[in-house]
Amino acid sequence: MTIQNTIKCVIFDCDGVLIDSELISARILIEELANIGVHYSNEYVHRNFLGRSWVKVAAEVRYAHQIDLDDAFESNYRIKLLKAFETELSAMHGVKSVIEDLKISCCVATSSSPRRAARSLTIAGLQAYFGDKVFTASEVANGKPAPDLFQHAAAKMGVKPENCLVIEDSLPGVQAALAAEMTVLRFMGGSHLLGRMQESKTEWPDVEHFDKWENFFSIAPDLKK
């Protein structure tokens, strides 16, 4: 698959695409839920929470365990997560070069909260590339896998959906991009997806996969300066 030269904007997901954060997030969430008697495995969190907004995660816990994750729980989780990010978080290898070499506009569309997204990108040294072009699920009615966030990002960037390329790692994110009628690539280079490439290709045979940012311009050569 070669990305067409009709693409005018690249929409990056954040966690698991720009930053290698998903294993950290899963660990902190599992620890905090265990403290209130809710026990999930890494595999369950990967399958059911990856790429989803906090609202959807909290709704799942409420439905399955009849426990409300109140504001205090959410605040404590986010504080501990950002503390872990300060010492453990890094940008995905090679992604800075890709951003610098893009000849078209780009932005971020993430299920993270505005504060978490801003701090994460800053820690990883990526905030300067995007400025105010970071859009979060808090800005739309429905998070991924609904198309709302990607449609919102495209509108803010002044680009039609058919002229957008989305880079996602999560299945809800891929579903959201397809629902928005955008071209999508699934990035599989995050530490949380190691060894899952073939499994994903089998599940999504019509979606192009890649696991190294160094290979991005071989898929999308027309997007390079």
At which residue do the structure tokens 């369950």 appear?
Answer: 44
Instruction: State whether 185 and 217 are in the same domain.
Output: yes
Domain-terminating residue out of 54, 88, 122? 88
* Residue 2 falls inside a structural domain: no
**Alpha carbon distance 135, 112 (integer Å):** 9
Specify the CATH number for the domain of residue 48: 1.10.150.240
In a domain, 133, yes or no: yes
Residue 1 has pLDDT above 80, yes or no: no
Amino acid at site 207: V
- Same-domain pairing of 55 and 84: yes
Same domain, yes or no, for 106 and 182?
A: yes
pLDDT at 52 exceeding the cut of 80: no
Q: What are phi and psi of 54, to 5 degrees?
A: -60, -35
Give yes or no: residues 58 and 109 share one domain: no
Q: Render pLDDT for 169-197 as a digit per residue (tens, 0 to 9).
A: 999 999 999 999 999 999 999 999 988 88
Domain count, the chain: 2
Residue of 14, 15, 17, 49 lying closest to 30 (CA atoms)? 49
The predicted-structure confidence for 87-107, as pLDDT tens digits, reads as follows 999 999 999 999 999 999 999
How are strands ordered across the β-sheet holding 134-136? Answer: 134-136, 105-110, 9-12, 164-168, 183-187, 208-210
Q: Per-residue pLDDT averaged across 66-73, rounded?
A: 92
For the whole model, what pTM was predicted? 0.90
Residue 144: which CATH number? 3.40.50.1000
Token readout for 135 is: 């859009």
**Sign, Cα dihedral of 71, 90, 183, 159:** positive
Q: Which domain holds residue 205?
A: 9-20+90-223
Distances (CA, A) of 176 to 48, 141, 143, 224: 15, 13, 9, 26
